[in-house]
Amino acid sequence: MLKTKDIIDEKNKLLRQVSKEVEFPLTDKDRKTIDEIIEYLTNSQIPELAEKYNLRPGMGMAAIQLGIKKRYFVVVHEYEEGKFKNYVLINPKIISNSEEMIYVEDGEGCLSINRETIGITPRYARVTMEAYDMDGNKIKVRGREELAIAFQHELDHLNGILFIDKIDKKDPFKNKDKMRAI
């Protein structure tokens, strides 16, 4: 079972590297890692289990956060209390996005950043991703609001970018009035 301590911290230079395309078929090791990520993210969003296993809550995780330099990520979205939908996106890319920009009102978080951060991270309100599923089939997934933010956040990880990089250092709340808070 994955533990919070297995997730690498922002000080680790691996997080700044661009992950490599995944070749199919997936290795058994990658399949096992994906299953473990799904289990971690699901349990971390259920307060009793998060406390029991000492898990930091999160809805997304990229392979690179476990030190695996491959282009895949998992998002476990709680769309209704206690109901989750799993998204496994391999070799993902954004193929379309809204013009509308949004940000997380309380600030984005990241399992690899273990400190308080101040500022807003501009994100598209809606994105359509193209990727592959675990069996190598091409898929298209649309995300809105928090799901769109999670997709963009995890895709950034695959490109060596952390959400804090998108916060304006001189003006952490820059253009706040031009975006919608969620």
> Catalytic residues, which ones?
154
- Classify the C-alpha dihedral 83-37-75-175 as positive or negative: positive
CA gap 85, 34 in Å, rounded: 14
- H helices of the chain, where? 28-44, 47-52, 145-158
Query: What residues have CB less than 8 Å from 64, skipping those under 6 apart?
Result: 8, 14, 15, 17, 19, 70, 157, 158
